[in-house]
Amino acid sequence: MFSSRRRTVLQSALAGAAGLSAFGVLPTTFRFRRAQAALKSMKITRVRFYENPLSRPLFNQSKHIVTVETDAGITGIGEGGTADNVLRLAAFLIGQDANRIEEAWQYMYRGDFYPPGREKVHALGALDMALWDIKGKALDVPVYELLGGLTRDSVECYATGYPQKGTLKAAAAACMKDGYRAFRTAVVGPKDNMAVFNARQAVDETVTHCTELRAGVGSKGDFCIDYHTRLDFPEAVRLSRLLLPLNPLFCEDLVRSENPGVYRELRSQVQVPIAVGEQFGDRWDINELIEGRLIDYSRVTIPNVGGITEMCKLAALCETHYVGLIPHFTGPVSVAALVHVVASFSGTAYMEMAGINQQTFAHLPKHYDFKSGRLFPNARPGLGVELDTTTLKLAGEVTKPPADVHIYRRPDGSLTNW
């Protein structure tokens, strides 16, 4: 059902459109003008960065919270980054129109002249997420409605870290019973993080491990495996060939990620479905793999790629080349954001879920909706997230634009490099 405010706007628009059409004005033109009038300019006034004690030290799995405030009284919520990177980029937003999300993304990405590294792109993603949250709240709609609407009713998940009680086979069977699409495992490694890793031995043990998993998930279930980039090229090929008869849903990060072009040679030697991308940032990190059909699934995720704005472009790139989306797990606000993107993507898609139950977070009374191995889009405005900052530590805020930035614009007003 529509809220009373949305119903009034809709009724006024329909009545006005009917009247204007009698004078030869196209209703579509009128609706566009109504939308422009309804979505007034909102200037960004302050950005705050909150440290989350639950966040991991890895920058690309940051669960720190970012809020973006506007003069319209609407605050957007984002997640990710480190204080130094977020606060530097946040200065680019002060005084800007919160509605112009693409322009804000370009400004933050290009304002310092040199292309940002993955750490800064991750921080940019937290801020971008908050801008989409603002826009959804301003229009009183969930973000997925701004991305074209839903293409699926739920998002299937595969389980990472599913608790093993009894045998591995029993755990895999329980995972399927809980409604998950697949049970995720990894190349077997030593329990001691500093121990010697014997790749040939690990491959043999992993095949035994996966054989038991296949028996557990059954013919109608699936398993997937992360190589964790820990294998050298020959062993990655050998493991992939040995696993092929077990029919894995996908095999992830077969070799190191520094040189994406190596997958051109790897692709010619293995037949298992390949998934790559969790260690990457924006589209220029992975476009070669997608455009060359060197992978079957992209593991890129939010906020790592630079937020919703960039994730949508990557999704379109994947759709163009028949590559599926299986984003890496991330923090709860980012998972909520991912649901909006994945639920409006038309291609094959799964999402990773750590643990088996809906988790609770002290700082998030509402976040994502998860049940029986699936994530569900909800109708709450924006990202659908509610924030309580009392359990977080305010680590910094920005209220002034940067003084050391140059920006050039083309004659039409669009940004270009300086």
Is 209 noted as a catalytic residue in this protein? Answer: no
Is residue 91 within 8 Å of 106, Cβ to Cβ?
Answer: no
Q: Is 122 a catalytic residue?
A: no
Q: How many CB atoms lie within 10 A of CB 352?
A: 24
Which pair of structure tokens corresponds to residue 365? 């009374």
Tokens representing 127 are 């801020």
Catalytic residue among 64, 122, 209, 228: 228
Do residues 146 and 86 make contact, with C-beta atoms less than 8 angstroms apart? no
Measured distance CA(197)–CA(231) in Å, rounded: 10
- List, as own/partner pairs, every contact residues 253-257 make where C-beta atoms lie below 8 angstroms and the sequence separation is at least 24, other chains included: 253/226, 253/227, 253/228, 253/229, 253/278, 253/279, 253/299, 254/227, 254/229, 255/227, 255/229, 255/231, 256/229, 257/229
64, 122, 328, 340: the catalytic one is 328
Give the pairing of strands 155-160 and 351-354. parallel
CA distances 378 to 5, 67, 340, 382, 411, Å, are 19, 21, 9, 10, 42
Residue with tokens 């606060």: 87
Please identify every residue annotated as catalytic.
Answer: 228, 328
